[in-house]
Structure 1
């Protein structure tokens, strides 16, 4: 009897041990599955709720497209390239209007060791001569380069409504040996973008920014398009110096300036821009002037609404991030599919024009420490191959429109 009881006790102990082992395995599995599961959010508000617990959310190595998920970017290892991100806003502007964009810029800069300089446009009295607020920003950028940014460092000027969507991309990637001034093509038409430029802080770079700021005083009394319009005749003069002098400029260059002088609306303005590009030439590299102009799809930023808020890992920054314009991403699958189909078919869709793909406010201190996670809207993500196909399709459509507009300007040659 005693032996039987001893055997029963042993069996009970073994059973308890087995139960505890299974419980530990189950608990471990449950904990692992909780850590590995992507965040499920059927609407932007749901994603915001999920983001409230972001501080406790652990790293996710992989994710399923179609669901919000976390990205944990690593800081750049080579910090030899010093860049100051320059943002100049008009006095009286409420900074909360750009809160989302600014937050992403500050986090990105803190992570990678870049400097951010956010200034109102009344800091330098020398810039008070500029009545146009857009040119006043370029004047302030020039003065910042003179007074605050170290010699041979870099200045990245951006609009206040530009934000980072992919923190893994580096500003350094856009630098190329032998070039000191960088711009890019805007995407919705054939404009060079005035919303951002990357310039080395040396005599050439400072001179370029200063000369551009002073181009305000050459604006015609017409529908001139402020700095975005003026950038085109300015670049024509800078990259094709003989166009500065009426005695040496070509008939085509003279026509471009005549179109600008007589401009009454966007058709005339866009015609002038297309005309100046004919004079400059569809080139990316201008080594004699150390200027590089990135072609469509290759620059560091594009308008958010161009891609109906969709993004790919080849993207870096996005423009037009104003709080007042943000909308919620459709919560129903039909609405989400309509957004994707609209992008692929290149048709308008206001329901998803301005949805920022980063779903939560970023903690800048954690960004600096390299521990902050970026909660990304996976339902708006497309692969890089699709991105390129859509870009190419858009680019050819825009090129066709550009050539058609050039043809229309022929009727105005007799009026020069």
Structure 2
């Protein structure tokens, strides 16, 4: 039964008027009732958050252990848990590629939810590594769409993201799905290649026509990825460093590497912390890793603390060492907001604000806009942000 604040106040007034209730007892009861009120309020808030995994029945069987860890997490924090098969909505069935159909499914699913609903969408190969920490930092960030840069790859990550139930977010997901109709003949990494262009057209930066032409002309197979990475380099040049974009119809945030609630765990030695850093690990394909390394007792939702959990200091040092080892993915030094030595050890590399420099140029007729790619060994090496980034 919902806890009503008005009922609480009425009961306290009656209690205060009773002659045999001492001041200490009244205070103790007041604290107890306030605790119930706060807990109930928090539970009502978190019920507007859902963990969403999309996969057909065979997919769900294959990643059952990983999904169970997400269910444990949802139960622990009062989040809803939704398993979708990508066959729920007729409008999405025309997308024969599962990955494009997934985003259509999430868009249609959001239409069935309350306006305040927030969905944390996951790939099936994600396991919860730090279950004691909730998603509050990202829920409270408030952007309609939250994405992140992949660790040790130049792409924006496609499989895991957070979306609020707004027209802006639903439209973004549906436009993403519709890139199914524009796939090139060669390797384009399915939805992971398309997301780069969806972000470009959403934030309306110059260079869309240049990058789109490269995308449509991808003809090489997966055995030769040079042209694909050239295309990704183009989109990185256009989008620039990770940023919290404020747009006329909504907000889109791109998080820097290792600053989202999920990251590729292998690059952190499969470690997590109860204090800082990513909460979930992506790329855990083998269910045995879930039940033998990550969890002591998955049935009881009991994490294997000895294997997985490390202090904030140890995890931070690991992240900083990783960043320093791969300057092509992490800007070095202390001269910028997202420089590794400034923020990586504390996992505090925040997205740039909308107006912060270096900022790409937005154009009204973005689809027709072209630009010249800074095509040098240095710019290709540093697709982590922008070859025009200025650092010390």
Please report the TM-score for the alignment, with normalisation by the length of structure 2: 0.67
Q: Secondary structure at the match of 2:233?
A: helix
Pairing 1:360–2:297 present: yes
Per-residue CA distance 1:309-354 (angstroms, 9 max, x = gap) = 22222231111233357399xxxxxxxxxxxxxxxxxxxxxxxxxx
Q: 2:175 aligns with which of 206, 211, 216?
A: 211
Equivalent pair of 1:151/1:201 in contact (CA under 8 Å): yes
Q: Residue 281 of structure 2 aligns with which residue?
A: 318
Q: Cα gap change, 1:98/1:407 in structure 2, threshold over 3 Å: closer, same or farther?
A: closer
Q: Residue 100 of structure 1 aligns with which residue?
A: 65
Q: Cα gap change, 1:401/1:87 in structure 2, threshold over 3 Å: closer, same or farther?
A: closer
Q: 1:121 aligns with which of 74, 82, 86?
A: 86
Q: Secondary structure at the match of 1:93?
A: helix
Q: Is 191-200 or 167-176 further displaced after alignment?
A: 167-176
Equivalent pair of 1:310/1:382 in contact (CA under 8 Å): yes
Q: Secondary structure at the match of 2:259?
A: coil
Q: Residue 292 of structure 1 aligns with which residue?
A: 253
Q: Cα gap change, 1:176/1:380 in structure 2, threshold over 3 Å: closer, same or farther?
A: closer
Greater relative contact order structure (CA < 8 Å, 6+ sep): 1
Equivalent pair of 1:240/1:280 in contact (CA under 8 Å): no
Per-residue CA distance 1:143-164 (angstroms, 9 max, x = gap) = 11112x2122111111122121
Per-residue CA distance 1:35-54 (angstroms, 9 max, x = gap) = xxxxxxxxxxxxxxxxxxxx
Q: Secondary structure at the match of 1:116?
A: strand
Offset, 1:262: 2.8
Q: Secondary structure at the match of 1:290?
A: strand
Q: Cα gap change, 1:387/1:274 in structure 2, threshold over 3 Å: closer, same or farther?
A: farther
Offset, 1:129: 0.7
Pairing 1:400–2:328 present: yes
- Number of residue pairs matched? 290
Q: Residue 175 of structure 1 aligns with which residue?
A: 139
Q: Cα gap change, 1:167/1:324 in structure 2, threshold over 3 Å: closer, same or farther?
A: closer
Pairing 1:89–2:55 present: yes
Offset, 1:257: 3.8
Q: 2:229 aligns with which of 270, 274, 277?
A: 270
Equivalent pair of 2:67/2:127 in contact (CA under 8 Å): yes
Q: Residue 193 of structure 2 aligns with which residue?
A: 229
Structure 2: gaps spanning 5 or more residues: 1-38, 331-375, 383-392
Q: Secondary structure at the match of 1:287?
A: strand
Give, in whole Å, the separation in 1 of the partners of 2:290 and 2:78: 32
Offset, 1:299: 0.5
Q: Residue 354 of structure 2 aligns with which residue?
A: none
